[in-house]
Every structure is written in C-alpha cells, then in structure tokens.
C-alpha cells in the first residue's frame, strides 16, 4: 500500500485486536511517550523537525553530506508498514502487541497507562528486528508522568541498535514541562528538553540538542499554535568538524 494508513481490524474486548494492512507497527512510537502538551512539535524523535538539513564544515562553511537525521536517531520502532499486527486486551492498564512484516521482520511492544494519587503516567517498551545488513535488534523505551494539579511533567526516552561492525549507537532524551489552563481559550504548555546521541553517524561521534517549546490550544476550534527553538550540535571524532544548526519552527495543527 502506498497510502499513509490503509488497514482493516477485528476488535474484541475479550480477545484483543487483529489488524491487517498498512499502519503503525507494534514498536512504532514506543520511544515517544509524552504527556507534556508540547508533543505536537517537541518530542523524542527530534529529527522529524529538521532531519534533512545538512551540517556545514567549520573551516570552509561548505555543506557536508551529514544530515540531522544521520546524527540523531531514537530508533523508534519500525514505523508505518504493511503488516499483520495483534494487540492484547488491557490488563491493569497494560497491553502487549506484536507485528510481522515482509522480509522476516518483526517486533513486539508493551504499553501501560494509569492514573492515581494526582498523577497520570504512561510507559512503553519495545524490541524490533529490522533485518538490515550489519544490524541486529533495536530496543526502545519511554515514559512520561504528569502531576495533574500543578501541570508539572517529566518525560524520558531511550533507544539503541545492536551493530556488528561498529559501536552500538544510542539516544537519550529528557524533557521537563508545565501544562496549565492559563487562558479561557484552552490549555498552555511549555517545555525544555535535552537529547544526547552517541556513535552517530560514525563511531565516537557525539551529538547533543536542546529544545525550548511553547504550545497554546484553542479548544473550540480544535487548534494548537506552537513555537520551537532547537540547537543541534555534533562533536565529530573525524574530520571535518561541523557548525551547529539552529532551528526556529512556528505553526499550527488543526484537528477535524
């Protein structure tokens, strides 16, 4: 299937859900648990915002062939694929899921969500086999906790890929946020996050990123206005060294 999502499913409260077609694999978005309210623009897969932008050489200013996507990857599952997927019924807020794809690829995930003592929390974990040359399994996990009275929240994500011929790359992401009804039009959210990406694009290359985000919702219109500033920095173990990339993003999401 060439479309974003084309799938059919059979859903049973007692036996779970069976899905066939193109859509989210079981492991997709397990690295992106997020209750901050700024997830529309600032979340663990930071390369979604500017993944195709190229770093420039420090000395000459010439463009390299290294993209933001090459330096920052949180290994967030197998994406949207044509697959067969099963999701179990929820048991105390937890559910298991798995999917089978072409070329002997597969993945499995555990998701949990719950509320209590003024807290709301979600947590995900997954393992996936992408069947790519020189690579073995991907491991991804994330969690997010929101204190509902104050709106303070904390999010963490981690991901790694086993590689045969080089050091295993891995990604760590943390976010602190505040979500509150400051206006009659809808809730407002602010967050600051930090990302550390290691052994990408080559062994011993280290990247870090800092992001500041704000989102204002207009609930009557199903709209969120957002703004993001993000710094991407890559410390290379080989030449050439590269300049930082600064990103400013503003926009809106309308749901209907």
Percent of the chain scoring above 70 in pLDDT: 100
Instruction: Check residue 218 and give its pLDDT.
Output: 97
Instruction: Check residue 133 and give its pLDDT.
Output: 78
Q: Which structure tokens are listed for 122?
A: 């979600």
Instruction: Check residue 110 and give its pLDDT.
Output: 98
Give the Cα separation of 43 and 220 in Å (integer): 25
Whether 163 has a pLDDT exceeding 90, the answer reads no
Give the Cα separation of 249 and 51 in Å (integer): 13
pLDDT tens-digit readout, 30-75: 999 999 999 999 999 999 999 999 999 998 999 999 999 999 999 9
Low-confidence winner among 88-97, 127-136, 148-157, 166-175 (lowest mean pLDDT):
127-136
Give the Cα separation of 93 and 103 in Å (integer): 33
Closest CA to 73 of 236, 209, 165: 209
Interval 105-118 mean pLDDT:
96
Average pLDDT, the chain: 94
Instruction: Check residue 1 and give its pLDDT.
Output: 57
Higher pLDDT, 248 or 103: 248
Give the Cα separation of 3 and 220 in Å (integer): 30
Give the Cα separation of 155 and 213 in Å (integer): 14
pLDDT tens-digit readout, 181-195: 999 999 999 999 999
CB-based burial, 181-197: b 16+ in 10 Å, e otherwise: eeeeebbbbbbebebeb
Whether 2 has a pLDDT exceeding 80, the answer reads no
pLDDT tens-digit readout, 207-239: 999 999 999 999 999 999 999 999 999 999 888
End-to-end C-alpha distance for the chain, whole angstroms: 24
DSSP 21-67: EEEE-TTTTTT----SS-TTT-SS-THHHHTTPEEEBTTT--EEEEE
In this structure, the number of other CB atoms found within 10 A of the CB of residue 47 comes to 21
Whether 127 has a pLDDT exceeding 60, the answer reads yes
How far is the CA of 63 from the CAs of 59, 60, 197, in angstroms?
11, 9, 21
Low-confidence winner among 93-102, 159-168, 202-211 (lowest mean pLDDT):
159-168
pTM of the model: 0.92
Q: Which structure tokens are listed for 85?
A: 């997927």
3-state secondary structure of 222: coil
Task: Specify the residue for token string 């690295």.
Answer: 31
């Amino acid at each position: 299937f060439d479309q974003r999502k084309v799938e059919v499913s059979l859903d049973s409260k007692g036996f779970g859900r069976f899905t066939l077609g193109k859509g989210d694999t079981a492991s997709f978005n397990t690295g992106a648990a997020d209750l901050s309210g700024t997830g529309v623009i600032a979340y663990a897969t930071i390369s979604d915002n500017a993944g195709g932008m190229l770093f420039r050489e420090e000395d000459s200013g010439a463009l390299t062939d290294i993209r933001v996507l090459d330096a920052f990857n949180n290994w967030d599952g197998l994406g949207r694929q044509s697959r067969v997927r099963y999701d179990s019924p929820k048991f105390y807020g937890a559910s298991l899921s798995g999917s089978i794809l072409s070329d002997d690829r597969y993945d499995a995930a555990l998701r949990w969500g719950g509320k209590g003592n003024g807290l709301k929390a979600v947590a995900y974990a997954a393992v996936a086999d992408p069947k790519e040359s020189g690579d073995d399994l991907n491991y991804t996990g994330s969690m997010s906790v929101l204190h509902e009275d104050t709106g303070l929240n904390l999010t963490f994500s981690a991901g790694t890929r086993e590689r045969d011929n080089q050091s295993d790359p891995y990604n760590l992401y943390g976010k602190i946020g505040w979500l509150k009804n400051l206006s009659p039009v809808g809730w407002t959210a602010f967050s600051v996050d930090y990302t550390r990406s290691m052994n990408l694009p080559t062994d011993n290359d280290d990247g870090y990123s800092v992001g500041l985000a704000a989102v204002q919702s207009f609930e009557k219109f199903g709209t969120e206005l957002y703004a993001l500033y993000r710094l991407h920095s890559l410390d290379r173990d080989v030449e050439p060294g590269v300049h930082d990339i600064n990103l400013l993003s503003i926009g809106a999401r309308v749901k209907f």
